[in-house]
Amino acid sequence: MGEFKKNELAEKRGYSYRLTRRQFLVATSAAALAACGPAAVAPGATGSAAASPGKTLKIGQLLPFTGVYSELGNSMRRATELYLKLNDNKLANRPVQLIYEDDANVTATGIQKTQKFIDQDQVDVMMGVVPTPLAYGIRNAVHAAKMIFIDTNAGGNFLTRDVPNCTPACKSPYIFRASFSSYQISYPIGDYLSAKGTKDFFLAYANYGFGTESAADFTTGAKKNGGNITGNVAPPLGNADFAPFVTQIKNQPTKNVYSFFSGADAVGFIKTWNQLGLPAAGYKMYGAGFLTEQDVLKEVKDLANGAVTSLFWAVELDNPENKKFVADFQKQYPLLPDVFTVQQYDGMRALDEALKKLGGDTSDKDKFSKALEDVTFKSPRGDFAFDKSTHNPIQDIYLREVKTQNGQTVNTITDKIAKVTDPGK
């Protein structure tokens, strides 16, 4: 975590904070550049201008609309706009202006867009971010600016943990997650499967920040009960051809394969898995839930049948809030929602609830942070609350199996691991 260093250089040179932070970030963000991908495309800002007694609330949304995770960005944008449509385009009686920026899954681009939100747009709050390296890359800027940042996807563990010799402290009071940490998704399924008697696993994961964290957390969970990792393949993020990697899986004897892929990578992996005949050869697909989320299933359909994954939500989850959410979403869009819509929708709800406690006032960032810490509500995923020590959600993790029923391919819930928290260290 050496990328989290205090901006002492600028202070020594006597520059103002806004003039030097951009230079500092560019100079010190090399450790976060592992996820760099295609060139960025920056869309224009959009927003609502409804009349209201309150001052317009500016929300900066940093999302990928191009590149391997573009569909995730589209899902999160749909959720944001659905929440506002259902709430008269206001949060705590303040009209909302949404300012979208496309990071294209390029860390350097995302850092620049974050700086724009802070210096030029002067947004009241920032949301979004899909890839872990980008979340790590922007951490110093949002912390130094006391910018409330609600992370609605990136799951890198260290963003919200206390880490020795991490200066300033990695865990910022201004950073919250409405999504998950890597640990929350991957450790429980490793623990669960190995406790049930499945001991040997081969790993396949995207070779970038969250992929490697996911593999490590699954390994720790599996080894808790005597599990064994027999080998791995790690394609690059945004991989164009999965055949060489799936062939390596087929050429080794371990039949249980745990994977982390998401977005277009998950689609490519599952299609190649089937093309090369791994189901017929007895190989079993396990994974972090993003491997078979609805954004993927609408592309691969029954090719993923039988896959078992872990996640904190499924479209079939039986609670009143989820049923209403799915119905509202399908009234607006001709597709099933996915977990990325849930994360973003819950982030908007958490922001709304906190602002209501503050009478819409975002000026005192420490009071804003405290109001977010105290937020609780019924979510499509179940009870939503932030762990005050980490600012991650405390959430149930579901074991899910992909099935096609009534013409739709969905994740069906088979078991539950209750109230999973991130250890925070």
List pLDDT tens digits, range 410-420: 999 999 999 99
Q: Are residues 206 and 278 in the same domain?
A: yes
CA-CA-CA-CA torsion sign (69, 73, 79, 82): negative
Q: Is 42 exposed, middle or buried (0-12, 13-18, 19+ CB in 10 A)?
A: middle
Percent of the chain with pLDDT over 70: 86
Q: What is the pLDDT of residue 111?
A: 97
Q: Are residues 32 and 101 in the same domain?
A: yes
pLDDT > 70? residue 251: yes
Mean pLDDT of 304-325: 98
Q: Are residues 198 and 275 in the same domain?
A: yes
Angle between helices 263-275 and 70-86 (to 10 degrees): 130
If you write DSSP's letter for every residue of 132-194 in order, what string do you get? HHHHHHHHHHHHHTT--EEESS---GGGGS--TT-SS-SS-TTEEESS--HHHHHHHHHHHHH
Mean pLDDT of 40-47: 38
In which band, very low, low, confident or very high, does the pLDDT at 162 lie, cut at 50, 70 and 90?
confident
Q: Are residues 250 and 364 in the same domain?
A: no
pLDDT > 70? residue 30: no
In which band, very low, low, confident or very high, does the pLDDT at 167 lie, cut at 50, 70 and 90?
low
Q: Please, are residues 79 and 344 in contact by the beta-carbon 8 Å criterion?
A: yes
Say how many Å lie between the first and final Cα of the chain, rounded.
13
**Residue 252 covered by a domain:** yes
Q: What is the pLDDT of residue 168?
A: 54
Q: What is the CATH number of the domain that holds 190?
A: 3.40.50.2300
**Residue 246 covered by a domain:** yes
Q: Are residues 61 and 145 in the same domain?
A: yes
List pLDDT tens digits, range 274-301: 999 999 999 999 999 999 999 999 999 9
Q: Are residues 292 and 329 in the same domain?
A: no
Pick the range with the lowest mean pLDDT from 159-173, 224-238, 257-271. 159-173
**Residue 223 covered by a domain:** yes
Residue pointed to by tokens 């090719």: 303
Length of the chain: 425
Mean pLDDT of 72-100: 97
- The structural domain count of the chain equals 2
Q: In whole angstroms, how far apart are CA 202 and each of 37, 155, 179, 228, 253?
A: 27, 22, 27, 9, 9
**What is the model's pTM?**
0.86
Q: Are residues 157 and 225 in the same domain?
A: no
**Residue 425 covered by a domain:** no
Residue 23: how many CB atoms within 10 A of its CB? 14
Boundaries of domain holding 281: 183-311+396-420
**Residue 316 covered by a domain:** no
Tokens describing residue 261: 């892929």
